[in-house]
Structure 1
């Protein structure tokens, strides 16, 4: 079952050069998936549960600009044990410009741990064949720099940890790559950033690829992944 929603990209969602910030690219995709969840999920079954994002693979074929009219479609492609797998497609003028693969984890708020997805929930989504699948990644291991990044109150969401989309702002701080110059994003949320005044960011560059990670003073890894820069 597919869920589609149309948007006009408002100027306040764009960076200083008029391109959609990747933070809001994620936010718009999240909104469509949350809308679908409200439509198909049984409220009683889900009242003490919530979806947690585990990872993203996002292929940005063409950057999105302010005032662009876009159509975002999402659908479930599989559900196994704790995990739900989704595809996203973004179109502009009937052309696919973004493809994404996202992994969600179902979390029990009472038991405070991941739980198996109920059969009723899995059935409600009516999974479809994948159009974009997760890549196999190799990450750099020579992290030579260390940058201290302040956690802002604006980064914290209603679950009292750094919002998943806000990691794009943190990523910009350590890579210095503009939103429109990124053609691929991989991000894995290993641990929530919670009750932190700052986080430490590192990156490892190899040609047009940048591996990155966010850690604390004790070297605990919170998030890691890689981006690929567009040939500009």
Structure 2
């Protein structure tokens, strides 16, 4: 299959029973898991993935936007595509596309990433490790995930504790765990989002208690998560 839209990497996939909600449609959390997986596979294939650990470097997802046109269903064959979309200052951008077996668009997503020194947590220039043919630092996408501000009326709160099963390889809460918390809080209000934007602002570790607050405005819902007074993520659906 020809990779569309000047993307650079593809992954065929069949949606599993463990990835869907009771209606048989994939959850946003499971979809985000797939985006994370193809991002790592692409990075590893071009030597800017897990090999960076040898030089004390790590990628951190800073912002993500997902727009669903149609929810993939249990057993459905889908095609995932991803590719670099340039850099802007300290952000490197990665786009995602999901198609069905008829090449119809099911979902699109855009993400922005930071490259950090894993010991000092100092932010590094992404072009220092990215191949220019994949992430041209002279180009930047028109679609860039934006900064999320919280507004509206407070309608729900919840406190969750970060557990071992929430952690990633760096012993930080995995980015998809935040999405699961947001998705569950929305489902409690009878809301199933078909779009999501999230900003990851500070790391969480096992044992942290995250206070999550859901706000409703006329056109959207927004969510914030705090550990004490520290804002760790914001989201908008």
- Give the shorter-chain TM-score range: 0.7 to 0.9
Tell me if the contact between 1:72 and 1:90 (Cα under 8 Å) persists in the aligned partners. Answer: yes
1:140 and 2:146 are equivalent in the alignment:
no
Equivalent pairs counted in the alignment come to 226
Structure 1 match to 2:9: 3
* TM superposition shift of 1:139: 3.5
What CA distance in whole angstroms lies between the structure 2 residues aligned with 1:26 and 1:209? 20
Supply the RMSD in Å over aligned alpha carbons: 2.7
Equivalent residue of 2:33, what SS? helix
- Which of the residues 154, 175, 181 maps onto 1:170? 181
Equivalent residue of 1:143, what SS? strand
* TM superposition shift of 1:82: 2.6
- What residue ranges of structure 2 are gaps of 5+ in the alignment? 1-6
- Which of the residues 203, 217, 220 maps onto 1:206? 217
- Which of the residues 7, 16, 21 maps onto 2:22? 16
With 39-48 and 66-75 compared, the bigger mean Cα shift is at 39-48
After superposition, where does 1:70-85 map in structure 2 within 5 Å? 70-85=78-93
What CA distance in whole angstroms lies between the structure 2 residues aligned with 1:160 and 1:205? 33
- Which of the residues 66, 72, 75 maps onto 1:64? 72
1:105 and 2:114 are equivalent in the alignment:
yes
After superposition, where does 1:145-224 map in structure 2 within 5 Å? 145-176=156-187, 181-216=192-227, 218-224=228-234
With 168-177 and 42-51 compared, the bigger mean Cα shift is at 42-51
What CA distance in whole angstroms lies between the structure 2 residues aligned with 1:154 and 1:163? 9
- What residue ranges of structure 1 are gaps of 5+ in the alignment? 228-232
What CA distance in whole angstroms lies between the structure 1 residues aligned with 2:65 and 2:115? 19
Question: Normalising by the residue count of structure 1, what TM-score does the alignment of the two structures yield?
Answer: 0.86
Structure 2 match to 1:27: 33
1:90 and 2:101 are equivalent in the alignment:
no
